[in-house]
């Protein structure tokens, strides 16, 4: 399908006046032949490469490969950088900056003579942030996920990025794990380019965008260093030029059906709880109605098919060899909207119809799943009036119904100061309550919800306890961890009123999170509650604090929700 619409870039390059001269002439200093300015679709290659984002360190090379494909198909590639978000390095948390990168991406696309966009992504937030920005402009857009690292091997077993981190304290406290062991594990865990090799948030995001139909089929699981990743990067470059000619915009692919598919797929692959806030924010930008309850309604009864850490035992490289996402899509066919369109112009059903599984211990059939129910459960109750979430597949089954005494930490600093005190009044039946780590509270809703257990309980052999907070959890983490409690404590949610010794009931089956304190007592506590001082007086963080929404709305800024299209009101004069 070809459309006769005038290219957007012609507004810049098509004129024979002074401004046409200005727009073309300066770009010519990079050595582009004249025909580049005469009717070629201009494709922006939005690069999240940075040496400070180790997971995206190879994307500089990938941009060249994508650009080769664009030029081959008759397009004019122009690469541009946006702020990059490196999960393991940035403080206080990359989530604080997700919305900033979305603004950077949105304005960079709209302000420039682009007809289509390729997003080069990898580390966790680099995918949702750039996609959110692209949605608010709504040009033809394709995503090239950078791919996972090769499997880590440590001594006689696999070492999964991120998932190993959560065992370090336990290993060190239990003895026998030396500084040399730590160094060796450190080196073994990250042995190639790419993002985390578990089904953590980066793999979840790559899976999500493929399930949404925004990548070429099969790309998300391919390791970063595999030559086939480069092939699909080049073909993605070719394809975006055709998408411009077909006017295949994001809004034609990102329908309600696509979002529902992404929720179902996330459950089946054991994806991260972080998908919730990102998918809600993306839906808000493109104008699709999506609610927190949809994740439970559509996803919580979906079986777990993929045996990957943190819910299972394998890593992304094994998953790729087993057949990758296409196998999962084929298995889930009866539960998906098979007609949903993807960037290659075919439906998700067509793209996965011939998939074959090569290892049934990595990808299980729907008829005989790894677990009968995965997905995300959405909890409600007086402790989470607007909702909270838990990932049952990563939790301890016997703790899914639990009543315990609250041990409260008012902040992360308070937690670090007291958690390992020998005289802390805590046992394995208690509920660890962490306040002040929500969107406004930290600020930025960090991944701290799965806080380590107290040292004295680890030494007793305790492996899991119920932990509740208004924060998030790394996609590589596990445990009976209730997250995203809304309203958060920093805005006076019931969480802010919990005191040591209160009884808390968690009942995942009945989707309930309850604080066993009378309404009268809660009203008294609320009357004495004081809002914390704003954590920033100026700059982006102040803007964020003034506008960030709660978790059940995706933690976007209220002023960013929606779409301003690709029109620019005024020319450069």
CA angle 218, 307, 190 (to 5 degrees): 75
Task: Specify whether the CB–CB gap between 282 and 135 falls below 8 A.
Answer: yes
Q: What are phi and psi of 78, to 5 degrees?
A: -135, 115
Please tell me whether residue 195 binds ligand FES under the rule CB under 6 A: yes
Q: How far is the CB of 51 from ligand FES (least distance, A)?
A: 13
Task: Specify whether the CB–CB gap between 373 and 392 falls below 8 A.
Answer: yes
Q: How many residues comprise the chain? A: 573
Binding mask 133-162 for ligand FES (x = CB under 6 A): ----------------------------xx
Q: How far is the CB of 85 from ligand FES (least distance, A)?
A: 9
Q: How far is the CB of 123 from ligand FES (least distance, A)?
A: 3
Please tell me whether residue 317 binds ligand FES under the rule CB under 6 A: no
Q: Distance between CA atoms of 352 and 218, rounded to whole angstroms?
A: 9
Please tell me whether residue 124 binds ligand FES under the rule CB under 6 A: yes
Please tell me whether residue 87 binds ligand FES under the rule CB under 6 A: yes
Q: Which stretch binds ligand FES (CB under 6 A): 23-31, 193-201, 350-358, 486-494?
A: 193-201
| Helix and strand counts by DSSP (H, E) for the chain | 20, 14
* Of residues 448, 544, 433, 527, the one with CA closest to residue 489: 433
Among 77, 113, 200, 213, binds ligand FES (CB under 6 A): 200
Q: How far is the CB of 476 from ligand FES (least distance, A)?
A: 7
Binding mask 158-177 for ligand FES (x = CB under 6 A): ---xx---------------
Q: Distance between CA atoms of 270 and 198, rounded to whole angstroms?
A: 10
Please tell me whether residue 278 binds ligand FES under the rule CB under 6 A: no
Task: Specify whether the CB–CB gap between 532 and 545 falls below 8 A.
Answer: no
Please tell me whether residue 447 binds ligand FES under the rule CB under 6 A: no
Q: How far is the CB of 312 from ligand FES (least distance, A)?
A: 18
Please tell me whether residue 123 binds ligand FES under the rule CB under 6 A: yes
* Of residues 544, 560, 562, 526, the one with CA closest to residue 445: 544
| Site size with ligand FES, rule: CB under 6 A | 11
Nearest to ligand FES of 130, 161 (CB atom): 161
Nearest to ligand FES of 116, 200 (CB atom): 200
Q: How far is the CB of 127 from ligand FES (least distance, A)?
A: 10
Please tell me whether residue 120 binds ligand FES under the rule CB under 6 A: no
Among 88, 172, 382, 563, binds ligand FES (CB under 6 A): 88
Q: How far is the CB of 162 from ligand FES (least distance, A)?
A: 6
Please tell me whether residue 202 binds ligand FES under the rule CB under 6 A: yes
Q: Which helix (H) or strand (E) holds 481?
A: strand 481-486
Task: Specify whether the CB–CB gap between 132 and 174 falls below 8 A.
Answer: no
Q: Distance between CA atoms of 392 and 487, rounded to whole angstroms?
A: 22
Nearest to ligand FES of 48, 351 (CB atom): 48
Burial of 112 (0-12, 13-18, 19+ CB in 10 A): middle
Q: Which helix (H) or strand (E) holds 519?
A: helix 519-528
Please tell me whether residue 118 binds ligand FES under the rule CB under 6 A: no
For residue 65 the two structure tokens come to 């490969």
Please tell me whether residue 484 binds ligand FES under the rule CB under 6 A: no
Residues 6 or more apart from 235 whose CB is under 8 A from it?
69, 216
Instruction: Specify the DSSP class assigned to residue 363.
Output: B
Q: Which stretch binds ligand FES (CB under 6 A): 110-118, 195-203, 356-364, 493-501?
A: 195-203
Residues that bind ligand FES (CB under 6 A): 55, 87-88, 123-124, 161-162, 195-196, 200, 202
């Amino acid at each position: 399908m070809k459309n006769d619409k005038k290219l957007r870039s012609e507004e810049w390059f098509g004129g024979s006046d002074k401004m046409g001269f200005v727009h073309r002439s300066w770009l010519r200093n990079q050595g582009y032949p004249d025909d580049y300015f005469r009717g070629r679709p201009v494709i922006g290659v939005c690069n999240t490469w940075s040496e400070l984002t180790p997971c995206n360190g190879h994307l500089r090379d990938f941009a060249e490969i994508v650009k080769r494909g664009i030029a081959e198909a008759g397009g004019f590639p122009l690469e541009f950088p946006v702020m990059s978000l490196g999960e393991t390095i940035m403080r206080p948390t990359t989530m604080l900056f997700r919305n900033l990168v979305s603004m950077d991406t949105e304005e960079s696309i709209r302000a420039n003579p682009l007809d289509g966009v390729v997003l080069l992504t990898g580390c966790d937030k680099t995918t949702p942030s750039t996609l959110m920005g692209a949605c608010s402009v709504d040009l033809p857009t394709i995503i090239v996920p950078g791919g996972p690292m090769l499997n880590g091997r440590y001594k006689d077993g696999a070492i999964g990025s991120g998932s190993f981190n959560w065992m370090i304290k336990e290993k060190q406290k239990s003895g026998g794990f030396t500084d040399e062991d730590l160094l060796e594990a450190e080196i073994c865990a990250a042995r190639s380019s790419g993002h985390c090799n578990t089904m953590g948030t980066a793999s979840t995001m790559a899976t999500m965008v493929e399930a949404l139909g925004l990548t070429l089929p099969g790309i998300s699981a391919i390791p970063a260093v595999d030559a086939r990743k480069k092939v699909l990067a080049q073909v993605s470059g070719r394809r975006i030029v055709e998408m411009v000619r077909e006017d295949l915009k994001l809004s034609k692919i990102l329908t309600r059906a696509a979002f529902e598919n992404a929720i179902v797929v996330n459950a089946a692959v054991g994806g991260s709880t972080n998908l919730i806030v990102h998918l809600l924010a993306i839906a808000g930008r493109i104008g699709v109605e999506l609610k927190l309850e949809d994740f439970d309604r559509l996803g919580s009864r979906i079986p777990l098919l993929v045996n990957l850490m943190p819910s299972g035992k394998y890593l992304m490289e094994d998953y790729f060899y087993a057949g990758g996402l296409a196998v999962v899509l084929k298995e889930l066919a009866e539960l998906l909207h098979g007609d949903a369109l993807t960037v290659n112009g075919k439906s998700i059903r067509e793209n996965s119809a011939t998939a074959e599984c090569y290892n049934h211990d990595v990808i299980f059939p729907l008829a005989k799943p790894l677990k009968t129910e995965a997905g995300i459960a959405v909890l409600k109750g007086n402790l989470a009036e607007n909702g909270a979430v838990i990932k049952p597949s990563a939790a301890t089954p016997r703790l899914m119904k639990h009543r315990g005494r609250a041990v409260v930490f008012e902040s992360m600093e308070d937690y670090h100061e007291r958690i390992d005190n020998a005289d802390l009044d805590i046992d394995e039946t208690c509920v660890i309550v962490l306040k002040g780590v929500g969107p406004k509270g930290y600020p930025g809703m960090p991944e701290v919800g799965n806080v380590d257990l107290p040292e004295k309980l680890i030494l007793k052999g305790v492996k899991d306890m119920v932990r509740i907070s208004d924060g998030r959890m790394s996609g590589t983490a596990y445990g009976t961890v209730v997250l995203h409690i809304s309203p958060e404590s920093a805005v006076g949610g019931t969480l802010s009123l919990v005191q040591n010794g209160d009884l808390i009931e968690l009942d995942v089956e009945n989707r309930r999170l309850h604080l066993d304190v009378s309404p009268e007592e809660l009203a008294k506590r609320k009357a004495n509650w004081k809002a914390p001082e704003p954590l920033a007086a100026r700059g982006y963080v102040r803007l964020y604090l003034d506008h960030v929404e709660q978790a059940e709305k995706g933690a976007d800024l209220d002023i960013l929700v929606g779409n301003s299209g690709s029109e620019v009101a005024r020319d450069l004069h």
